[in-house]
Amino acid sequence: MKTVSSTEQARAIESSPESSTFKWIAIASAIGAALVHGYLLKGHYDLHYGEVSGQLMCDISDRFSCSAASASRWSEFLGVPMALWGLLANLAFVTLAAWDPLTEGDGKLANRTGLLSISTVLVLASIVMGAISLTALNSLCIFCIGTYVLSFGTMIGTWFGFRPNLKPTFKLSFVGVVFAFGISGFILNDQLRSGYTDGQDTGLRTAAALQDWQQNPVIEIAETDPLAMGPSRTEARMTIVEFADFRCIHCKLAVAPLKAFVNSQSDIRLEFYSWPLDGECNTSIQQANGASCLLARAVWCARSKAQKGWEAHERVFARFEEWRTADAIRSGLDSLATEIKMPPEDLKSCVDSDAAKTAIVAQARLGTALNIRGTPAIYANGKLLPAGSQIPVLNAVYKSIPSR
């Protein structure tokens, strides 16, 4: 029996009618996936550790939201974002594909075995994450789905472009490469995350917040006409109560992570109460500016008169810099009403009504009764939650609550 050497096998690979088109499909798919993963990774760090003031490009709706997927507990594996694992895997594939023409003999066989292995892992990971998205998440990430599709493009291109006549070859050095790949994921994650946290240990900070929350007493918070999303209190596994001021920068920065976290699961409820830093409607505040109370009434009116409360909430915070005075707010009510598709006259007539004033005073009194000292003040299941707008903290609390 004639034995075919690895050199002859490698020559057979090169002389086989492989389609360069499939090779380019594999490489282009991997490059495209790497770019998307890079964008999702930046969004992940911004949402978890940074200061997010807007939405991601792929936040189309509450149902189709990359932010919600990023806020879920499934967005990380071994503490490292899935987007980072995907980025590294696709970059590794592109590197091996670029190296392929320079290899010969056993080296070429091992290189192509690596390409086939990476593309297979990418497809398997995509299937698993796709199943999780459909069964365990409340929102779908369009860009994530894009990477799943691209992984199949990489696999198909590899199968028909690099695999013909290939007899898989294993080398011990491949184990070292896999090990180095895993270690690089942890190292890069620590370095990238430290850029947001100034080197602080986020794990320790999250653990401390969770411990404080667990030790805090449960307070009965009466449901006082809040702006709410999610299931009822009796049906929710976790109820988040937030007291905030529309002219508070920290409250603005809490909007994106709280919304993403609530949208990530179907059993989380969010209640928003106005606690204006304005003595006109809040007896806890000595100085009155009239602006914060007016904004609170505008959002309440948007919900009461047109069921546009969350839309108004979002637009008011988005235009944060405009609301410096009560006069500026009154000048912007027409455009605000237009943005949320509400008749301007309905909004303007409501903001000065007794009903609106009474509702906001009642919410302010509720916060005062809880001895609130600043905004945002966030409670989870009746307990004050330190750092309650940070997704790692919210996920830690959620995991600690028994499912219903």
Region 17-22: mean pLDDT is 72
Residue 263 burial (CB < 10 Å; 0-12/13-18/19+)?
buried
Q: What is the pLDDT of residue 201?
A: 75
Region 17-34: mean pLDDT is 88
| Average pLDDT, rounded, for the chain | 90
Distance of alpha carbon 267 from alpha carbon 402, whole angstroms: 12
- pLDDT tens column, 300-318: 999 999 999 999 999 999 9
Region 128-148: mean pLDDT is 91
- pLDDT tens column, 203-221: 888 999 999 999 999 999 9
Q: What is the pLDDT of residue 168?
A: 61
Decide if 193 contacts 202 (C-beta within 8 A). yes
Distance of alpha carbon 309 from alpha carbon 127, whole angstroms: 38
Max Cα distance, the chain (Å): 98
Task: Please check the confidence at residue 8 and state whether its pLDDT lies above 60.
Answer: no
For residue 166, name the pLDDT band (cuts at 50, 70, 90): low
From residue 27, how far is each of 21, 115, 339, 341, 351 by CA, in Å?
A: 10, 10, 44, 46, 58
* Domains defined for the chain, CATH in brackets: 6-197 (1.20.1440.130), 221-400 (3.40.30.10)
Q: What is the pLDDT of residue 2?
A: 46
Region 178-197: mean pLDDT is 87
Q: What percent of the chain has pLDDT over 90?
A: 72
CB atoms within 10 A of CB 359: 21
Q: What are the phi and psi torsion angles at 225 (to 5°)?
A: 55, 55
For residue 98, name the pLDDT band (cuts at 50, 70, 90): very high
Q: What is the pLDDT of residue 1?
A: 44
Mode of pairing for the β-strands spanning 268-274 and 227-229: antiparallel
Q: What are the phi and psi torsion angles at 353 (to 5°)?
A: -75, 155
- pLDDT tens column, 235-244: 999 999 999 9
Mode of pairing for the β-strands spanning 80-81 and 383-384: unpaired
For residue 73, name the pLDDT band (cuts at 50, 70, 90): confident
Cβ-proximal residues to 347 (8 Å cutoff; 6+ apart), any chain: 298, 301, 302, 305, 306, 333, 336, 337
Q: Length of the chain, please?
A: 404
Q: What distance lies between CA 135 and its chain's CA centroid? A: 18
- Under DSSP, is residue 383 helix (H, G, I), strand (E, B) or coil? strand
Decide if 299 contacts 347 (C-beta within 8 A). no
One-letter amino acid at 170 equals F
Task: Please check the confidence at residue 106 and state whether its pLDDT lies above 80.
Answer: no
- pLDDT tens column, 265-297: 899 999 999 999 999 999 999 999 999 999 999
Decide if 100 contacts 112 (C-beta within 8 A). yes
The DSSP code sequence of 304-360 is HHHS-HHHHHHHHHHTGGG-SSHHHHHHHHHHHHHHTT--HHHHHHHTTSHHHHHHH
User: By mean pLDDT, which of 52-61, 96-105, 182-191, 201-210 is the weakest?
Assistant: 52-61
For residue 245, name the pLDDT band (cuts at 50, 70, 90): very high
Can you give 179-228 as a three-state secondary structure string? HHHHHHHHHHHHHHHHHHHCCCCHHHHHHHHHHHHHHCCCCCCCCCCCEE
